[in-house]
Amino acid sequence: MVPTSVFESYWRFAAERQAIYFRRMRNPVGPWTDDPILATFRFTNAYRVSDRVSQYLIREIQYHPDRSARPSEVFFRTILFKLFNRVETWEELERRCGPVVWDRVDLNKLSKTLDRIMDRGGKLYSAAYIMPSPALGHKRKHANHLALIARMMDDRLPDRICQAPSLRDIYTLLVSYPGIGPFLAFQYAIDLNYAAFLEHKESEFVIAGPGAADGIAKCFTDTGGRSAEEIINWVCECQEEAFRSAGIKFQTLFGRRLQPIDCQNLFCEISKYARVAHPHIRGLTGRTRIKQLFRQAAEPLPCPVFPPRWGLRTLNAAVPFKASEERAGLFA
């Protein structure tokens, strides 16, 4: 494969974005970086599980002690939350309708509540994914998504997922439903696998989204005929050597190395970062601007939570911010 200057930035971006994550835990005020692009624009964390929505999913939806741990209930809550992928939508639903429980949920009431949010100009869906509407007979997208969940539950999909021998098999079950394409099915498989009733490895397989494909096109002028998924797995496998060769100190997630899902996300993020850092390298889409600006949250980062089976010890892992010499030449 023939790399470009963006591929060097890929590793430096990953290290600096991860360093920002730890600096924010140590110092909620900042500053957290001397990289003007990272300081100005919004980027996801190096590790997908560290992002705000994933942390909310694990803490509040999947592992909250006041919620049922039955697989069917955890599945229902996870998919309902992730269809909208927006914390504010979930909290508004529970504020108006009470705790979401499949055994006694009134989907019509949920739908009418979402209608009212929309009618007053509120947002229902996150902009993180393109969410097509499954054609299930309803006028509004959210009503079709509620009907989709009902179909999944009627099909006993949670039981079938519990019996699935691999993460790829879970993906295959999910992608068979209307409105769930390959990339979305893969993301949902990862989300469900955070829960206690599944124990598959995140490294089993990966699906590249359109953002990652654009990032790969910016990182390599020639991929040697390799698929996007092959490149992501190769990058994941060689990460320690890549950081070492570039003289970059990378702090893992409390001992957990980057997984294919994380390397996939990093290709998506470097696609955005390169629009400013490497504007002469166009990629597949030709986009030239980063739309979302970084806005500091009012509250400091809560203590992170991860699936207990990962065995991550999170105490005393934060590091202070120092202007980093390892970033020299980042904009070359």
Measured in degrees and rounded to the nearest 5, phi and psi for residue 111 equal -65, -45
Antiparallel, parallel or unpaired: β 2-3 and 220-222: antiparallel
Across 48-52, 128-132, 219-223, 274-278, least confident range = 128-132
**Is 19 a residue whose pLDDT tops 80?**
yes
Across 41-45, 112-116, 201-205, 313-317, least confident range = 313-317
Residue 147 is encoded by which pair of tokens?
């009907």
* 332 burial via Cβ count (<10 Å: 0-12, 13-18, 19+): exposed
**Is 324 a residue whose pLDDT tops 80?**
no
**Is 327 a residue whose pLDDT tops 80?**
no
Residue 331: which of 5, 42, 24 has the closest Cα? 5
Task: Give per-residue pLDDT as tens, 307-322.
Answer: 999 999 875 433 333 4
**DSSP string over 149-177:** HHHHHHTTHHHHHHH-SSHHHHHHHHHTS
pLDDT at residue 267, rounded to an integer: 98
Task: Give per-residue pLDDT as tens, 76-97.
Answer: 999 999 999 999 999 999 999 9
**Is 201 a residue whose pLDDT tops 60?**
yes
Strands (E), the chain: 2-3, 220-222
pLDDT at residue 326, rounded to an integer: 36
pLDDT at residue 39, rounded to an integer: 96
Distance, in Å, from the CA atom of 67 to the CA atom of 60, rounded to the nearest integer, reads 9
Q: Which helix (H) or strand (E) holds 263?
A: helix 260-277
Distance, in Å, from the CA atom of 219 to the CA atom of 237, rounded to the nearest integer, reads 17
CA torsion sign for 53, 55, 59, 61 is positive
Residue 128: which of 79, 83, 62 has the closest Cα? 83
Residue whose token pair is 């939508």? 89
**Is 249 a residue whose pLDDT tops 50?**
yes
Which residues make beta-bridge pairs with 3? 220
Measured in degrees and rounded to the nearest 5, phi and psi for residue 329 equal 85, 10
What is the rounded average pLDDT of the residues 114-130? 90
- 3-class state of residue 41 by DSSP: strand
Band (127; pLDDT cuts 50, 70, 90): confident
pLDDT at residue 330, rounded to an integer: 31
Residue 247 is encoded by which pair of tokens?
């003289």
Residue 46: which of 270, 231, 301 has the closest Cα? 270
Cβ within 8 Å of residue 254, ≥6 positions away: 306, 312, 313, 314, 317
What is the rounded average pLDDT of the residues 20-31? 91
Cβ distance 225 to 302 under 8 Å?
no
pLDDT at residue 7, rounded to an integer: 98
Distance, in Å, from the CA atom of 84 to the CA atom of 57, rounded to the nearest integer, reads 12
Cβ distance 18 to 46 under 8 Å?
yes
Band (30; pLDDT cuts 50, 70, 90): confident
Distance, in Å, from the CA atom of 297 to the CA atom of 295, rounded to the nearest integer, reads 6
Residue 164 is encoded by which pair of tokens?
């699935």
pLDDT at residue 298, rounded to an integer: 65
* Residue bearing the bigger pLDDT, 291 or 110: 110
Q: What is the DSSP letter of 214?
A: H
Length of the chain: 332
pTM for the whole structure = 0.91
Residue 197: which of 236, 163, 148, 248 has the closest Cα? 163
Band (288; pLDDT cuts 50, 70, 90): confident
Band (295; pLDDT cuts 50, 70, 90): confident
Distance, in Å, from the CA atom of 157 to the CA atom of 148, rounded to the nearest integer, reads 11
Q: Where are the domains of the chain?
A: 2-45+205-309, 64-195
Residue 127 is encoded by which pair of tokens?
């902009």
Cβ distance 202 to 187 under 8 Å?
no
Residue 304 is encoded by which pair of tokens?
């992170």
5-26 helix and 210-219 helix, angle to the nearest 10 degrees: 120
pLDDT at residue 264, rounded to an integer: 98
Q: Give percent above pLDDT 70 in the chain.
A: 94
What is the rounded average pLDDT of the residues 154-174? 98
